[in-house]
Amino acid sequence: MKSTVLRGKKVVLRSLKLSDAARFCQWLADPEVTKFLDMYNQPALTLAAERKWITQQRQRKDIITFAIDTIDGTHIGSVALRHITSPHRHASYGIMIGDKKYWGQGYGTEAGKLIIDYGFRKLKLHRIYLYVIAYNIRGQKSYEKIGFKVEGRFREHLLVDGQYHDRVVMGILKNEYLKKQNNK
C-alpha cells in the first residue's frame, strides 16, 4: 500500500510501521482484547512474527491495513479492509482498538467511518461486510453507527472457551453509504 494518511477529528489512519509491532504483541497477549477478534485461543505472538506480519501487510494487494493513532499521535489500534476482490468489488472490514483506555469513546467508530469512506470512494468497492461474535454488543453498536446492517447470523458457529456462540454478519452497500452521507 502506498503511504496514504486519512484524518478525522479524533484519529489519524496511517501506514503500519515495524515499530508498531511491540504494541501489537502487548495488545494481542491480553485476553480482554482478543475475545472479540478471530484469534480465539491462539498462542502468544512473538515480536519477530508480528514484524513479519506488518511487512506482509504492506506487500499484499488484497488487504489495506492502517494503524489507528489518536490526533496527538498515540497508536491505539488498527483497521483494515481485507479480501478485496475484483470483479465483485467487495471487502471485509476488521478493527482492533488494542489500547483499552480508548474503548467506548468513539475512536473505533471514527476510524471505521474513515476506512469505509476510503473503500467506497477511492477503491470503488460496492459492498463491505464484517463478521462479529454475537456477544460483542459494543462493536455491533459501533458498526451500526457507521452504517452497517445485520444481514444474517451463523448460529452456534464459534466455539470460544468451551461455549458455542453465534456469528453475526453485517454489511453496507456503497449506495446506502453515499445516501447516508448526502443526508447529513
φ, ψ for residue 147, nearest 5 deg:
125, 0
- The residues near 71 (Cβ < 8 Å, ≥ 6 apart) are 8, 9, 10, 11, 12
Catalytic-residue membership of 177 = no
Q: Of 171, 132, 135, 137, whose CA–CA distance to 151 is shortest?
A: 171
Radius of gyration of the CA atoms of the chain, in A: 16
Which residues, in sequence order, are bridge partners of residue 158? 165
The single residue of 40, 143, 164, 177 carrying the catalytic annotation is 143
The DSSP element (H or E) to which 67 belongs, if any, is strand 64-70
Residue 179 CA from chain centroid, whole number? 23
Neighbours of 63 (CB within 10 A): 18
Concatenating the DSSP letter of every residue in 14-27 gives EE--GGGHHHHHHH
Residues with catalytic annotation?
Answer: 143
